Amino acid sequence: MMKKLALALAAVLACGVASVATAADTLAKIKSAGKIAIGTRDSSAPLAYTTGDGKYVGYHVDVCLKIAEAIKANLKAPALPVEYTVVTSANRVPLVQNGTVDMECGSTTNNAARAQQVSFAPTTFVTNVRTAVKANSGITSIEQLNSKTVATTTGTTSVQLLRKRAGKIDFKELFGKDHADSFLLLESGRADAFVMDDNILAGLIVNSKAPAEFKIVGESLSEEPIAIMIPKDDPAYKKLVDDTVMGLMKSGELDKIYTKWFMSPIPPRNATVGMAMSASLKNAIANPNDKPAEDYKK
């Protein structure tokens, strides 16, 4: 009996050691890899998008570059390079989980389901899920989407939100592989509407060939916090990320970054999105938090 108890205790201790050994240590991983791996989007303007030639820009890209500076200072490695990896709505969570990227700097909603798999920095944007249509479509509300084709992006929750709000309204779903592809479905007439975060819709419209041909309509389907996504169960790394983001908030630097991407001309067309900071985002900056979408009230 004593031998069995000893073996059982040894097994428990071994499991504990294994858990410690496999705990995330992102800073050590970055130091060993000799680079900071940033996951970003290619068509989520003005939060994160490409201007071509391997260049990635946007509000959240700038925030992540500030985090990268803090990582370099922490590791005493000022020459540490930053490497970008394009992620999609479908693979962004797994690529953070498996360590392919050290942070995801795109347009990801912090919600309870994702928080089971990854961690989030304090909220740096608050979006409203709405609908983009062609300006001459006559569509002004979700009730008019009956018998219409609605586009959204694979791996997002927008259509589920629309179905929940629309009730018995019957519409056909059409999925784009990314936001640019979804917008193309609307632009080409294959879809009558595109449901997505309002900031992404605004960014796609302002950088389209004919911005005046599109408009954002209808009520908000959901108000959601957007944040930088990082590996789970790594308290030292989360503290560094959180401290950096809250420092940007406290210093007023985040306001400047917001103005740069939402209230000023942005590449590639030097057009202005023109979305003033919402009351919800101002509150999130004044009271930093990493609460999930389920805690946000309409």
The full set of domain ranges for the chain reads 24-124+227-295, 127-223
pLDDT at 297: 60
Phi then psi dihedrals of residue 96, to 5 deg: -75, -45
- 146 within 8 A of 193, measured Cβ to Cβ: no
Beta strands in 96-213 (DSSP E): 103-105, 119-120, 125-134, 149-153, 172-176, 193-197
pLDDT in tens, 200-255: 999 999 999 999 999 999 999 999 999 999 999 999 999 999 999 999 999 999 99
Reported as a pLDDT band with limits 50, 70 and 90, residue 131 is very high
Up-side HSE of residue 132: CA atoms within 13 Å toward CB? 31
CA 247/CA 149 separation, integer angstroms: 44
The confidence score (pLDDT) of residue 23 equals: 58
Q: Is 97 helix (H, G, I), strand (E, B) or coil?
A: helix
**Mean of pLDDT values over 18-22:** 37
Please state, rounded to an integer, the average pLDDT across all residues of the chain.
Answer: 91
Distance CA 164, CA 117 (A): 25
Residue 73's pLDDT band, with cuts at 50, 70 and 90, is very high
Share of residues in the chain with pLDDT > 70 (%): 92
Which residues does residue 83 pair with via DSSP β-bridges, in sequence order? 37
Are 24-124+227-295 and 127-223 in the same CATH fold?
Answer: yes
Rounded Cα–Cα distance for residues 105 and 203 (Å): 16
Architecture of domain 24-124+227-295: 3-Layer(aba) Sandwich (3.40)
- The partner residues of 86 in beta bridges, in order of sequence, read 40
List, for residues 176-190, the tens digit of each pLDDT value. 999 999 999 999 999
pLDDT at position 11 over 80: no
CATH code of domain 127-223? 3.40.190.10
User: What are the start-end ranges of the E strands in 177-217?
Assistant: 193-197, 214-217
Rounded to 5, what percent of the chain is helix, strand, coil? 45, 20, 35
Instruction: Give pTM, 2 decimals.
Output: 0.86
The larger pLDDT score, comparing residue 3 to residue 51, is at 51
Q: Which residue has the higher pLDDT, 167 or 266?
A: 266
d(CA 228, CA 75): 21
